[in-house]
Amino acid sequence: MSRALRTGLLLAASFAATGLITTELHAAPDPLTPTGQWSVTARGQAPLPPMGWNSWNAFNSDIDEEKLMAAAKALVDTGLAAKGYRYVDIDDGWWLKRRQNDGRLLIRTAAFPSAQTGDGNTSFRPLTDRLHGMGLKAGIYSDIGRNSCGQAYTADFKGQPEGNVAEREVGLYDHIDQDIGLMMGEWGFDLIKIDGCGIRAMSPENKLVSSGQYRALGPLVDYENLSRTDIPAVRDLYRRVGLALARTRPANDYVLSICLWGAADVRSWAKELGNMSRTSEDISPNWERMLHNLDSASRRELYAHPNSWNDPDMLYVGTGEFDTAHVQEARSHMALWAMLNAPLIIGYDMRKATPELLSILGNNALIALNQDAGGNQAVLAYDGDTAQIFVKTLADGGKAVALLNRTGGPIDVKLTAAHLKLREDSGIDLTDLWTGAQSRFTKEVNLHLAAHQTLVFRVAGARAHPGGLYLSEMPGSVNPAVDGIVEPMADPMVHRGLLPWRNTRGDGEHPIYGGWGGARADATPYGMSLRIGGVNFSSGIGALANSRLEVRNAGYRNFAARVGIDDSALSPDARVRFEVFADGRSVARSGWMKRGDQPVALNAPVEGARIIELVARGDRGDLQNVTVTWGAAALDR
Ligand code: GLA
């Protein structure tokens, strides 16, 4: 999108200069032109973050029908299903081969005996029927390339596809319509997770390829380098999956889970195609990796919306450093995923679940946070290497706050009324969501956090901005449709841990791309405080020049903001003009502004408008990293 934007603007500028604008030359539309639309996908059904169970973290690829049905039964018997954990998802390891005369996928019936149909075919229909009969939903797994992650990365993989090279090509590539029709139509699955190892790992240089075990493909994705990733090609493959799903499931009753681990600029396009999208590489059951996955999603609060959620990967609650001997860590993991609106997908062998574990996974108050109808991912009110404070605005206007101690020793932190955007001069009530304990403070309170502890509270108090909501309190309703990134950069903020499988071998984990520079709530795209002409804004939206933000308006009558180029912008020469649109109609506009100018107030009546768009147009299409601020941006009644 960013490159298209740049080309579009450069073309428009040069044609305008030469007076050459013709109908044909308008072919590349200006992406900053308001559309009056909400562009987050309406395909699929995930108005709230999906919840359920997946086989991968519990069993790796060693999955079979007995284990799967035991998990399904446990979800029902323990009451977790009634609390929302409904998806039962098969991950890698289910497939046997692709039949060559007709391209049909065959299931490993040794592991899934009910899939044997007698006519030489195999079908998951008996299994999905059983799951549906239990009130559950069923999920399946595939890869967008020809081969799976297990084939690419794990030599001793259980349940590896069998046969010759072509028979072992079990991924969707060249079979999108057929496989989607089979899995989501004939077999009746409700969710499909689509991995990307087949377009990432099958380079001609790979020994598995050069030795003749697999065919070369691309690679289209280089996990570490966007410059070596064919973003349009990757996106187009997932777009074709979307079309196949729409054809197969016209009732729109499915979930598309994109598994590209934050690569291929998926952050900027998943919201138009998928219902959940992985923001990082796989989680593993240790604290450092949990922090890594947390960080990959925690600063992308504006990229998670109803029907398209950030997915920092599945829960590891119950295992390793999140087992019941590490209750502090297990609770933190659960609380943080709940606050981030992450899909809550259990990855534990449910046959072994203890009451203690169930009390964590089944905590009603935390599930309610995750499933809150407001659909707002928590926003970082304090962002540090040691402590972080996350605040989530709920559908009823109330708040939840989580205070995370990232370190291995105890710390004291201060929670302030300002973190919560509540008044300092009246009482603020806290309800601890683990213990139910209630407390009250005014202005600020000192809280003690044990090592790796996350305190999480429901909050009630008097709003500092009583007339409506700041946009930064409703990230689920703000969509950076065009984020203005010209040259994507790797994200330096994501925790780079000591990987258990690598330790200090190699030169460590590097910053990788994952959305650095995207719009933020209450921060600039690079994590600075919002500041225009020396004026600080504790609330607001930080974006880049040449961006267009869509805002859903739930009945508010007025939009107000104080706008300008942020003081953190590097270029003193850039000029930016700010404009507000209501259902495509211009309702307020600033003049051209430069860095250092005082903030300009924009006020606009927006009553009756469904979509408000905030456009920050630069004087050049190639402005790089010019931060702009919609200070104190709010919708008021
Ligand atoms: C990738 C995915 C995991 C899992 C495995 C299966 O690593 O990121 O979530 O699906 O593949 O092989």
Give the pLDDT confidence score for residue 367 in this predicted structure: 98
Report the alpha-carbon distance of residue 192 to residue 188 in Å, rounded: 11
Q: Whose CA is nearest to atom 5 of ligand 1?
A: 149
- pLDDT bucket at 11, cuts 50 / 70 / 90: very low
Of 288, 621, 333, nearest in space to 482 by CA: 621
C-beta atoms surrounding 445 within 10 Å: 15
Whether residue 489 contacts residue 513, with contact meaning beta carbons closer than 8 Å, is answered with yes
Q: Which two three-digit tokens encode residue 60?
A: 């790796």
Give the pLDDT confidence score for residue 27 in this predicted structure: 64
Q: Is 192 in the pocket of ligand 1 (CB under 6 A)?
A: no
SS3 (DSSP) at 223: coil
CA atoms within 13 A on the CB side of 358: 15
- Residue 244's Cα: distance from chain center in Å? 23
C-beta atoms surrounding 608 within 10 Å: 10
Q: Whose CA is nearest to atom 11 of ligand 1?
A: 149
Q: What is the pLDDT of residues 222-248, one digit of tens each?
A: 998 999 999 999 999 999 999 999 999
Residues labelled catalytic: 195, 282
The proportion of the chain whose per-residue pLDDT surpasses 70, expressed as a percent, equals 96
C-beta atoms surrounding 22 within 10 Å: 8
Q: Ligand 1, from 282, 316, 345: best to mutate by most atoms within 8 Å of Cβ?
A: 282
- Tokens 């910053």 sit on residue: 511
Q: Whose CA is nearest to atom 3 of ligand 1?
A: 282
Alpha carbon separation from 612 to 257, 396, 465, 530 (Å, rounded): 28, 22, 20, 22
Q: Is 311 in the pocket of ligand 1 (CB under 6 A)?
A: no
Give the pLDDT confidence score for residue 588 in this predicted structure: 98
- pLDDT bucket at 23, cuts 50 / 70 / 90: very low
Q: What is the pLDDT of residues 478-502, one digit of tens each?
A: 999 999 999 888 999 999 988 878 8
Q: Whose CA is nearest to atom 8 of ligand 1?
A: 282
Find the helix or strand (DSSP H, E) in which 68 lies.
Answer: helix 65-77
Q: Which two three-digit tokens encode residue 388?
A: 């972080």
**Beta strand pairing status for 255-259 and 276-278?**
parallel
Question: Can you tell me the mean pLDDT for 323-338?
Answer: 98
- pLDDT bucket at 413, cuts 50 / 70 / 90: very high
Q: Is 149 in the pocket of ligand 1 (CB under 6 A)?
A: yes
Rg (CA), the chain: 25
Find the helix or strand (DSSP H, E) in which 125 lies.
Answer: helix 125-133
Quick one: angle between helices 327-339 and 287-298, nearest 10? 10
Question: What spacing in Å lies between the alpha carbon of 193 and ligand 1's midpoint?
Answer: 10
SS3 (DSSP) at 459: strand
Q: Distance between terminal CA atoms of the chain?
A: 34
Question: What spacing in Å lies between the alpha carbon of 103 and ligand 1's midpoint?
Answer: 24
Q: Is 56 in the pocket of ligand 1 (CB under 6 A)?
A: yes
Question: Can you tell me the mean pLDDT for 263-275?
Answer: 96
Q: Is 150 in the pocket of ligand 1 (CB under 6 A)?
A: yes
Report the alpha-carbon distance of residue 631 to residue 613 in Å, rounded: 15
Q: What is the pLDDT of residues 146-165, one digit of tens each?
A: 999 999 998 788 889 999 99
Single pTM value for the model: 0.95
Q: Is 91 in the pocket of ligand 1 (CB under 6 A)?
A: yes
**Beta strand pairing status for 387-393 and 428-432?**
unpaired
Q: Which two three-digit tokens encode residue 589?
A: 């506009």
Residues recorded for the chain: 637
Q: In degrees rounded to 5, what are phi and psi of residue 371?
A: -100, 15
> Which class for 349: exposed (0-12), middle (13-18), buried (19 or more C-beta within 10 A)?
middle
Question: Can you tell me the mean pLDDT for 7-17?
Answer: 38
Q: Which two three-digit tokens encode residue 483?
A: 């984020």
Residue 524 identity (one-letter amino acid) = T
SS3 (DSSP) at 227: helix
The proportion of the chain whose per-residue pLDDT surpasses 90, expressed as a percent, equals 90
- pLDDT bucket at 196, cuts 50 / 70 / 90: very high
